Structure 1
Amino acid sequence: MFSDITVEKLVPLLEGQKMVLIDVRSPSEYKDFSIPGSINIPFFTDEERAEIGTIYKQISEAAARERGLEIISAKLPAFIREFQQIEGEKTVFCWRGGMRSRTTATLLDLMNIHVHRLDGGIRAYRKWVVQELEAFQVPRTAYVLNGLTGTGKTRILTALQKEGYPVIDLEGMANHKGSIFGHIGQNPHNQKMFDSLMIHQLRKLQSAPYILFEAESNRIGKIVIPPFLSELKDTCTQLIIDMPMEVRIQEILDDYRPWEYQAECMEAFLRIKSRIHTPIAKQIEEDLRSSNFASAVRLLLENYYDERYNHTASQYPEAQKVKISVSSIEEATEAVKKIVAKGMKPAMLK
């Protein structure tokens, strides 16, 4: 017989990579939001789920169950084989821990494949995420990577994270680069997925003496970052990355690859066109249409993004700032490592 497992008991196993999670909801449900690291073996396809839902509403629950049994019976051998190919301890879940996960676990048990069933399903997991985020205590010390657009802050954090530094990659969790162009070439996460990735990373770093993250606004695309990170950002050390304009332009071109997403870049630009002085905006639009991307990026930096950054940066006291003047991402990464090693902090945190 299968056994139920609570979210509280599941999470340590999940974070220790000692449990395989299998989401048996439909592909569209899985795509919208699932537990990070889970795989999808749908009990019903989207079309089958819609059909059963219609039968449930228009005829009866009994008729819907009968149709569901017909559908799963026809594909049961293939469904079981997918589970047989998965090694290790397994937990299945659906929305509320109801029919789909219970039936899956029962069928697998009949085939001598033992699985756990997540008690309360993904709804219980989401409730746990929200509660954990509300109660979480972050380290008091943090280093925030700041600087003009194009200084490679995300790449610096990625390099540091690979070396084991305690990094919170906000843009990575949002799957969005943070600017009006940030969704291009990405598949942005929704708030539920962002929150899930956030709490697992915070738990991983809860014993760290400090954390590193990028100076983002309170929103990254449609994602809202936790208030405690916004508050921490306003009181901790600001590492101001300074790089030459030409390096910044090349960094942006390499990161965004506008030649692959020309139409999307134009669409995004038109959303901010009215905020830029008319002759400059006209030139940027012409540059985008003619694939003169380096010129477009330069004009956007000089006439939009740099002004916005300078306004925001001026609100931080000088005592919080540590300026890092470099000519490459590699130099910046090494400089950050040296600053962290020395334990440089703003006066207010000393």
Structure 2
Amino acid sequence: MVLCYNGNDFIQQEPLTVQTPLPLIDDFRSIVTENRPLIDTRAPVEYAKGSFPEAVNLPLMNDEERERVGTTYKQEGHDAAVKLGHELVSGEVRQKRIDAWIDFLRAHPDAYLFCWRGGQRSEIVQRWIYEHCGIAVPRLKGGYKAFRNYLMDESLRLVRNREILVIGGRTGSGKTLLLQQIDEAIDLEGLARHRGSAFGRYARPQPSQIDFENALAYALIRHDAAGHRRIVIEDESRNIGQRYIPPEIFAEFQKAPVILLERPLDERIEISYQDYILYGQKEYDEAFRRGETPYGWYETMQHNFKRIRKRLGDERTRRFSALLDAAWQEQLRTGNPEGHKIWIRALLEEYYDPMYDYQIEKKKERIVFRGNAEEILEYLK
């Protein structure tokens, strides 16, 4: 007897072996708008390079098995590779993988599955699940490749057919905080898991480039499904940390009107202090304790100064590094982190503001409005 899902609940029944056509799905938009769970049956090494936001990796073959099958295919041909694959994934190994797929379907009975091109691997998984207990799990027609192509084409189409507004402003002016108050906004830095500056790395690693692009496409499609006719984004360079905005999409952003968020220096220092110091220390400390990052907050910040040494120059790098160290030692001694505001002020005034002035000069013809957060929200209405 096996455990099977009957559309409402899981029940016990005999295994099925009926050779019936199993469903193929190519309504890719609904996968995005319905937050459809997905089973990625590719090997872990393929999944790590990039998958889809709602996908979990439950592979037919692990990396070693996939490599052996691939080598056999090159040396002996298709039939020998298929035979080896069935030998490697048989008996207890096969049953454990079927159990993993069934367990996921128990929690997500509306899931779809896919492999690279929607062919042999996902069809085998689909057939094994059906033969095991009669669950006809749809697989993506064309697999990962077809869905990925749809996402890239659709995201570019949506960007080209929407009004775009770009929120600019000096470092620390609270652009992300403003975006959170705008229904039409898409948070590029949130999708890239990076604050966009040299000091903007989170303790948690950034997604792969493919994962970032797929997440951006999901965000754009869901934005469209919500009925928004305008996209509001933060002014970004092409790169957000180690990730980059796809060139054709970035070119559209570069043509969009710019709204400048203006905020006094003292408020910008406070926002930077809250984000990079108070939140940053808590995040890095927690990640370090969990073993998710090899360095704590202080070591990471000192490393950030070294990363921009060429732009800062040796003298300023030493001075800023010394200010950071003094504030850190004071914090360790007294528990008061307020001393970090000294080097934040220096970094904003001497590094970020001159760089901003240079960059905004090149965009001055695109500026359509300036104001504080409240004024911008009113303008957008």
- The interval holding the TM-score normalised by the smaller chain is 0.7 to 0.9
Q: Distance in 2 between matches of 1:94 and 1:231?
A: 32
Equivalent residue for 2:212?
194
Q: How far apart in 2 are the matches of 1:10 and 1:248?
A: 40
Consecutive unaligned residues in structure 1, runs of 5 or more: 325-331, 342-350
Distance (whole Å) between structure 2 residues aligned to residue 21 and residue 185 of structure 1 = 27
Distance 1:103 1:286 in 2: 61
Q: Name 1:312's counterpart in structure 2.
A: 359
Task: List per-residue Cα deviations over 1:222-254 (Å, max 9, x = no partner).
Answer: 312454554445442413231433313313323
Q: Pick closer, same or farther for the CA change 1:46–1:181 going to 2, 3 Å.
A: farther
CA 1:319–1:80: 2 relative to 1, 3 Å: closer
Q: Tell me what 2:166 maps to.
A: 144
Correspondence for 1:271:
307
Equivalent AA in structure 2 for residue 78 of structure 1? K
Residue pairs, 1:202-221, within 5 angstroms: 202-206=220-224, 207-221=227-241
The aligned counterpart of 1:347 is none
Q: Secondary structure at the match of 1:285?
A: helix
C-alpha contact (below 8 Å) 1:24/1:40 kept by paired residues: yes
Equivalent in 44, 50, 53 of residue 36 of structure 1? 53
Report if the CA contact (8 A) 1:20-1:89 is conserved: yes
Give the RMSD, CA atoms, in angstroms.
Answer: 2.8
Q: CA shift at 1:319, angstroms?
A: 5.6
CA distance in 1 between partners of 2:60 and 2:186 (Å): 35
Name the SS of the counterpart of 1:179 in structure 2: coil
For 1:104, the equivalent position in structure 2 comes to 125
Match among 260, 270, 289 for residue 247 of structure 1: 270
TM-score normalised to structure 1 length = 0.82
SS of residue paired to 1:150: coil
Question: Structure 2 length normalisation: TM-score?
Answer: 0.76
Instruction: Determine helix, strand or coil for the equivalent of 1:205.
Output: helix
Separation (CA, whole Å) in 2 of partners of 1:307 and 1:319: 18
Equivalent in the alignment of 1:95: 116
Against the structure 1 CA distance between its residues 77 and 336, is the aligned structure 2 distance closer, same or farther, given a 3 Å change threshold? farther
Match of 1:47 in 2: 64
Distance across 1 between alignment mates of 2:23 and 2:71: 30
The alignment partner of 1:242 has SS state of coil
SS of the equivalent of 2:45 reads helix
CA contact (8 A) 1:2 1:114 kept: no
Q: Aligned to 1:177, which of 195, 198, 204?
A: 195
Identify which range, 165-174 or 246-255, moves more after superposition: 246-255
Counterpart for residue 334 of structure 2: none
Could you tell me which residue of structure 2 aligns to residue 67 of structure 1? 84
Q: Cα deviation per residue 1:88-123 (whole Å; 9 max; x = unaligned)?
A: 333211111222111101101102011112122111
